[in-house]
Amino acid sequence: MTEPRNDDVLLDVENLTVRFAVKRGSTFGHKSYLYAVDDISFAIKRGETLAIVGESGSGKTTAALAVARLVEAYQGKVNLDGEDFLQLEDADLRKARAKVQFIFQDPYSSLNPRVRAEKIVREPLESLQTVPAPERQAIVDKLFTAVGLHPEQQRLFPHQFSGGQRQRIGIARALATQPELIICDEPVSALDVAVQAQILNLLRKLQTEFGLTYLFISHDLGVVQHMCDSIAVMYMGKIVEHADRLSLFNNPLHPYTSALLSAVPSVDKKRREATKRILIPGDPPDPLALPKGCRFANRCPAAQPQCEDSQPPLTEVAPGHKVACHLVDEKAVSPL
């Protein structure tokens, strides 16, 4: 079930699947496929932020890379501003790539250590050639100011910046082509907590200033709580819950979502006392031998026999609130 299309939707992802071939045994052994992203759909309205959250191995980063065509999708559609981004080639692809940019997780490894900061920010403009050469320096100057860096820092190399400053360079680079969609892949997870807050505030400020739309990838629900309009929770390649931020935090329906939220620290004493810590036992299933039923069933404290027999579809149980769980009906009550 996909989101309804309208003029407000910038990104509409339909039935996206990414698989990787895996050889087992000898050189001539049987080839299996690991489905890192398995038939997921979501949409983001212009100017809003959708977070995809989940633990390591859930497929959230692979989904983001597939949206940006940095890994190949096996099937599905990525409709960007009305065009199927996965089908574009040559000049059309170059033009569309300017609309989508990426902020990477690690500011220490995502910047070329041999290149000055000025050139790093200018690289997308030179690569895509969407802006005349004489205008590029003015754009670089504007972006350094926009992300809170000084003009004289343009001549410095990455090792001369702190981690937070390096991420600001990465953000400036992402803004260089005047994109409409920015994919943020764990953009603050490698930074100190105090610096995280600065970068998140900067991202929100830039979103308003430049009219940006964000696809925000994170494992930290505490971070996305302050950044996002809606949240999709992934587990083993599937979206198991999708809702607006308030609905998901106030009424989590999938047991996996409830367990994730129970681990989020809070300064509110009443909230801490009211929140029951939910532990997730065991390990995820083998991604090369997935069960026929719910992929969370072997770890779910509320699992029933039907959970192991068939895979639950992602169903809307309340306005804008979807969940893939056999134990949740239209009453929208968590089984825990």
What DSSP assignment string belongs to 199-214? Answer: HHHHHHHHHHHHT-EE
Give the model confidence (pLDDT) of 25-79 as tens digits: 666 667 789 999 999 999 999 999 999 999 989 999 999 999 999 999 999 999 9
pLDDT of 34 reads 94
Contact 155, 187 (CB under 8 A): no
**Residues near 320 by Cβ (< 8 Å), separated by ≥ 6?**
230, 243, 244, 247
Inter-CA distances, 96 with 85, 129, 136, 176, Å: 7, 12, 19, 14
Contact 122, 144 (CB under 8 A): no
pLDDT of 267 reads 57
**Residues near 101 by Cβ (< 8 Å), separated by ≥ 6?**
124, 173, 174, 175, 176, 177, 179, 181, 182, 183
pLDDT band at 278 (very low <50, low <70, confident <90, very high): confident
Q: How far apart are CA 173 and CA 176, in angstroms?
A: 5
Contact 180, 210 (CB under 8 A): no
pLDDT of 4 reads 41
CATH placement of domain 9-45+66-97+230-323:
3.40.50.300
Name which of 5, 18, 15 is nearest 45 in CA terms: 5
Alpha helices in 187-286 (DSSP H): 193-210, 221-224, 245-250, 255-262, 269-274
**Residues near 250 by Cβ (< 8 Å), separated by ≥ 6?**
none
- pLDDT higher for 278 or 314? 314
pLDDT of 7 reads 65
pLDDT of 273 reads 61
Give the model confidence (pLDDT) of 154-189 as tens digits: 999 999 999 999 999 999 999 999 999 999 999 998
- Average pLDDT value for residue range 278-289: 88
pTM of the entire predicted model: 0.91
Residue with tokens 């959708």: 50
Q: How far apart are CA 242 and CA 314, in angstroms?
A: 9
Give the model confidence (pLDDT) of 188-219 as tens digits: 988 898 899 999 999 999 999 999 999 999 99
pLDDT band at 117 (very low <50, low <70, confident <90, very high): very high
pLDDT band at 130 (very low <50, low <70, confident <90, very high): confident
Helix (H) or strand (E) holding 215: strand 213-218
Residue with tokens 């930074």: 191
- Give the tokens for residue 45: 């309205």
Judged against a pLDDT cut of 60, whether residue 19 lies above it is answered with yes
Which amino acid is present at 162?
S
Judged against a pLDDT cut of 60, whether residue 3 lies above it is answered with no
**Residues near 72 by Cβ (< 8 Å), separated by ≥ 6?**
18, 66
